[in-house]
Amino acid sequence: MRWAALGEAGQVVAMLAGLEPEQPSKDIRNFPALIRDADAWRRDLADAGCAELAAVMEPGISALLAINARGADCKPAALALWREFIAARAAMLELLPPSGTLGPRRSA
């Protein structure tokens, strides 16, 4: 749930930065299912990473919206936050265990 909210927050930041909407990759879309089947240490790091990214994004978006509401140009600040978001998300995606081309493991 938090992963999806972070993705939506990232799209808001991209919009404020004047960037085109991003089409999420398969790993981004499947991250919750893939990390759920990972080792505990990977899940713990992913949970901590999501919490830390949320702690950055929430006040960052609030500040960007306040700047925008005043009629000032928020694009440079939004672009900086976008870069932080992309870097943090990439670090979390690196926690995914190697997988084949079949997608997340499914069991009945």
pLDDT at 24 exceeding the cut of 80: yes
Q: What percent of the chain has pLDDT over 70?
A: 90
Report which residue type is found at 35: I
Classify residue 7 by burial, with Cβ atoms within 10 Å: 0-12, 13-18, 19+: middle
Q: What is the pLDDT of residues 11-22, one digit of tens each?
A: 999 999 999 989
Look over the chain and give the mean of its residue pLDDT values, rounded to a whole number.
92
Q: Does the CA dihedral 59-64-69-70 come out positive or negative?
A: positive
Answer yes or no: is 103 within a domain: no
Residue 104 in domain: no
Q: How confident is the model at residue 102 (pLDDT cuts 50, 70, 90)?
A: low
* 105 domain residue, yes or no: no
**pTM for the whole thing?**
0.85
* Domain total of the chain: 1
- For residues 65, 69, 72 and 75, what is the CA-based torsion angle, rounded to 10 degrees? 30
Cα separation, 97 vs 26, in Å, equals 14
Give a yes or no: residue 14 inside a domain: yes
Residue 100 lies in a domain: no
The whole domain housing 64 covers 2-93
